[in-house]
Every structure is written in C-alpha cells, then in structure tokens.
Homo-oligomer: A and B are copies of this chain.
Amino acid sequence: MQKLLVWENKLRDKNIRVTSQRIAIIEVLLKEAIPLAAGDIFAKIKNRPELKLSTVYRNLNLLVDERLVRKLNFKGKGTVFELLEDHHQHLICLECGDVKSIQCPLQNYEEELHNDTGYELYDHNIEFYGVCPACKNS
C-alpha cells in the first residue's frame, strides 16, 4: 500500500477531512523525509498558487494536535515539522544544516525517570549537534 494512502486513512481515522491542501503538505513531508519549516513546505508546493501559507500553518497545527506530526525546534533552523512515524531522534550538522535520523538512545529510560521523580512520562526529544564528516574536511 502506498504511503500516501496510509496517511489519507490516518486522516479518515481521526475524522479529519482529506483535502487537496492537506495531501499536498503530507506529500512534501513524505518526499523530503526530514523535518521542514512551515515556509519550506509552503515553498515546495508547486503549481498550487492558491494554497496559502496560513493553510500550511493551520494544517500543521492540526496534525500536531492529532499526533500525526511532530513539531521540533533545531538550533539554526527554528521550528520544523516531520511526519510522526517511528520513534527516533536527530543529529544536526551546525555547519551545513544536514539532519540525520538516529535511533533513540533512551528506549527504556522513561521508566527509571518515572521511578525517580513520580512524573508520568509521555514523550521525550533529543537533539545532537555536531559537524558532519563532509564539513569537517573543508
């Protein structure tokens, strides 16, 4: 089954209407496969001059509320969005801005933190910052 159809069904499951604007946004996020700023998503939607930036924002916010999209903030890039699929974290090059997805190193840590603090844990987010091999050699 195509990825886009999977996402259309996720919308239907949450009673969110499948609009062409929503699909266009999800298509960009699927194709790029890295976290993108709202403005970048907007810029990558070609041949839809009537699709407005405010629509991009409204949809991203809705999808974040429905836990279909993750909203992040990266040093140097500001607020970015990615489709919420498998749990993973990010490694960001401070020179070229490259973003690498990495396995989350804290798979089992929330239980320990719960025992230590009494907090009910829901989520965590990690950013690693460094310089990628390509940038190091230049």
For A14-31 the 0/1 string (1 means CB < 8 A from B) is 000000000000000000
Residue of B nearest to A113 (CB): B128
**Chain B residue at minimal CB-CB distance from A131:** B120
Q: A124 and B129: CB pair below 8 A?
A: yes
A94 to B124 alpha-carbon distance, docked (Å): 12
A106 to chain B: which residues have CB within 8 Å?
105-106, 126
In the bound assembly, the distance between CA atoms of A116 and B103 in angstroms comes to: 11
* Residues on B with beta carbons closer than 8 Å to the beta carbon of A115: none
18 interchain pairs, CB-CB under 8 A: A73-B73, A91-B113, A91-B119, A105-B113, A106-B106, A110-B128, A118-B133, A118-B136, A119-B131, A119-B133, A122-B131, A123-B128, A123-B129, A124-B126, A124-B127, A124-B128, A124-B129, A125-B127
